[in-house]
Homo-oligomer: A and B are copies of this chain.
């Protein structure tokens, strides 16, 4: 091997950051929130499929919530009974938050079920109102700006990770803290990739969003002259977008997919939210910071959303004080 070919250990600059490092910041904030509240909010999870992986995930989220000081109840119901079960939980004052372990039917019926969950108990932030607020860059639920809108857990987790990694520039005004950053996102699912691209562009970034259907650019325009992002179809190769990107975020659900290390700009920040490893270990020869998975931050955001829902419900009483 010549000196120039370079094994990974010759490039000590790349640093791996684990999701747990980011999560623990919010874990203590959440514990404090529960203390201040003086009671343990209750989350109900609905499991209506027989996939052992879904059950394992449900048990893990339950355990994590309980360790943090929440009550968690897993309700296993038949697919056909799920809608009624959600209605019941919506009406039950002892339930503060509701989540569903998808897929249930694995088709559009699942989107319907998601909207059955009361927005006041929607810890996943997938109710239409919240998603609409996200796309429109409306951050509050009320004119007085006392109640913050709920953001979907995975995109929110990615935002918090980018804050932790110093990608958000805290000296810029709130709402513009990604101004000057170019970000490539490989995934444009309705649950994560698309809302994520919108969130990042609303915060000031130029985002190139890739999926099998093509490439879209999300941006608030030169000088951030738009209040919210606009989306345009563009013709850009993934490698060309990557070469000008300060941040690369991947979410490709395939073990065989690997993002080309060669295409990464030297010193870029790379984050993978797929359960598969979308980056090759050589990513650290190019990236300054690399986050291999984000699950622990996602569940922390779920708990944070639960506290926010409780808080938003309590706000009118606060105002009358």
Interface residues of A (CB under 8 A from B): 6, 10-15, 17, 164-166, 169-173, 176, 179-181, 204, 206, 222-225, 244, 246, 265-269, 285-286, 288-289
* Chain multiplicity (copies): 2
Say yes or no: A180 contacts B265, CB within 8 Å. Answer: yes
Whether A172 touches B15, Cβ cut-off 8 Å, given contacts A180-B288, A246-B180, A267-B181, is yes
Say yes or no: B223 contacts A285, CB within 8 Å. Answer: yes
Say yes or no: B179 contacts A223, CB within 8 Å. Answer: no
Q: What are 28 A-B pairs with beta-carbon distances under 8 A?
A: A6-B225, A10-B225, A11-B222, A11-B225, A12-B224, A13-B176, A13-B179, A13-B224, A13-B225, A15-B172, A164-B171, A165-B169, A166-B169, A166-B170, A166-B172, A169-B288, A172-B288, A176-B288, A179-B267, A180-B265, A180-B266, A181-B267, A204-B267, A204-B288, A206-B266, A222-B266, A222-B285, A222-B286
Question: Which chain B residues border A288 with CB–CB below 8 Å?
Answer: 169, 172, 176, 179-180, 204
Partner of A15 from B13, B165, B173, B265 at Cβ < 8 Å: B173
Question: Which chain B residues border A10 with CB–CB below 8 Å?
Answer: 223, 225
Question: Which chain B residues border A170 with CB–CB below 8 Å?
Answer: 166
Chain B residue with the shortest CB-CB distance to A285: B223
In the bound complex, CA of A164 to CA of B14 (Å): 23
Given contacts A179-B267, A181-B267, 11 further A-B contacts (CB under 8 A): A10-B223, A11-B222, A13-B176, A13-B225, A15-B173, A166-B171, A171-B289, A180-B246, A206-B266, A223-B266, A246-B246
Question: Which chain B residues border A166 with CB–CB below 8 Å?
Answer: 166, 169-172
Question: Which chain B residues border A179 with CB–CB below 8 Å?
Answer: 13, 266-267, 288
Say yes or no: B224 contacts A11, CB within 8 Å. Answer: yes
Say yes or no: B204 contacts A13, CB within 8 Å. Answer: yes
Chain B residue with the shortest CB-CB distance to A178: B267
A249 CB, nearest partner CB in chain B, Å: 15
Chain B residue with the shortest CB-CB distance to A284: B223
Of the listed residues A170, A171, A176, A267, the one surrounded by the most CB atoms of chain B closer than 10 A to its CB is A267
Whether A180 touches B268, Cβ cut-off 8 Å, given contacts A13-B204, A172-B288, is yes
Chain B residue with the shortest CB-CB distance to A221: B266
A14 CB, nearest partner CB in chain B, Å: 7
A203 CB, nearest partner CB in chain B, Å: 11
Question: Which chain B residues border A6 with CB–CB below 8 Å?
Answer: 223, 225
In the bound complex, CA of A166 to CA of B173 (Å): 12
In the bound complex, CA of A78 to CA of B208 (Å): 64
Question: Which chain B residues border A13 with CB–CB below 8 Å?
Answer: 176, 179, 204, 223-225
